Amino acid sequence: MIKDIVVHLDGTDKDERRLQHADALGALFDARVTALFTNLIEIGYIAADPVGASVEIVADAIEEARSAGDETEARLRKRLEAMSRPVTFQRCDGTDGELREHAARLARMSDLFVAGRPLGVEDAGWPSLFQSALFAGGRAVYMVPPDAPAGSARTIVIGWRDSRETTRALAEAMPFLRAADKVILASVGRGGDDNGAEEIAGHLGRHGVDCVVKSLPPGDKVSETLLAECAAVGADLLVIGAYGHSRFWEWVLGGTTRNILTVSAVPVLLAH
């Protein structure tokens, strides 16, 4: 069941698309929606001078960021009044590290964390916060592409791989899968990655999810093959396991996960 949804807001124009998706998901699952506004306080390196001008510079930077945050908060609260159901508002002011920790904590206390695309030249934003919600939050992250319309996920593609990460994603996605009209269990290539497709399809069937098993031919990239299948069937959602290492962002995500997050035109539900 999905009863608690968190949607990340940062005061940019991309908030609107995320709010639309969170509103639709809240209505679909009759879930409480919490809007998390993260107000970044950027303090660059300042030479140590505890009794000099550096203290005033830091204080001014914090005050300026909080003042700007107040204006953004007022605007966001007004926008939230137009949501189809009441929304709980939370604001967190802090450094990048503090905001990451807060997002992960809130994700752990929720069923679904709605975030924007973290990678890509035109949409890059909050990659470390996305990482924390995904790898430290322990629950599913629902990635909203910048141009994806909000609505019910009637057709869902599952990027199947016989792994812990994928089965975690399936468990988190079960409410979506049960509500869908069509579910496609897609495995790419032949060999190890195909193992268990029929068995997991039977398992899903016993949970009330009828799915079509497809073995897709290997291409240059698994991500391209999965996204091409999404486009071919008109998918509303792609479900995948998130692979990688929880250290530095440069190598925290596996290649397939990173490529999908960078270019997917459909929402993606991930879990680790």
Please spell the DSSP secondary structure of 203-256, one letter per residue.
Answer: HHHHTT--EEEEEEPP-S-HHHHHHHHHHHHT-SEEEEE--B-SS-HHHHB-HH
In this predicted structure, the answer to whether residue 248 has a pLDDT above a threshold of 60 is no
pLDDT (0 to 100) of residue 250: 41
| Maximum alpha-carbon separation in the chain | 69
Bridge partners, 212 (sequence order): 184
Superfamily of domain 155-270: HUPs (3.40.50.620)
Span 42-66, pLDDT tens digits: 876 554 555 555 666 677 778 888 9
pLDDT (0 to 100) of residue 251: 40
Question: What is the layout of strands, in order, in the sheet containing 237-241?
Answer: 87-94, 32-40, 4-9, 112-116, 140-144, 268-271, 237-241, 155-159, 182-188, 211-216
The domain segmentation of the chain, as residue ranges, is: 4-144, 155-270
Rounded-to-integer distance, Cα 211 and Cα 157, Å: 9
pTM of the prediction? 0.91
**In which band, very low, low, confident or very high, does the pLDDT at 83 lie, cut at 50, 70 and 90?**
very high
Both tokens of residue 49?
């001078």
Span 177-195, pLDDT tens digits: 999 999 999 999 854 445 7
pLDDT (0 to 100) of residue 192: 43
Residue 167: φ, ψ to 5°: -70, -30
- % of the chain with per-residue pLDDT over 70: 87
> Is the alpha carbon torsion for 163, 164, 169, 173 positive or negative?
positive
Residue 101: exposure state from Cβ atoms within 10 A (0-12, 13-18, ≥19): middle
Amino acid in the structure at residue 172: E
Do residues 18 and 145 make contact, with C-beta atoms less than 8 angstroms apart?
no
Nearest CA to 267 among 218, 241, 230? Answer: 230
Residue 63: exposure state from Cβ atoms within 10 A (0-12, 13-18, ≥19): exposed
pLDDT (0 to 100) of residue 120: 76
Q: Which residue has the tokens 């939370």?
A: 90
pLDDT (0 to 100) of residue 245: 62
Domain with residues 4-144, CATH architecture: 3-Layer(aba) Sandwich (3.40)
Task: Judge if 4-144 and 155-270 fold alike in CATH terms.
Answer: yes
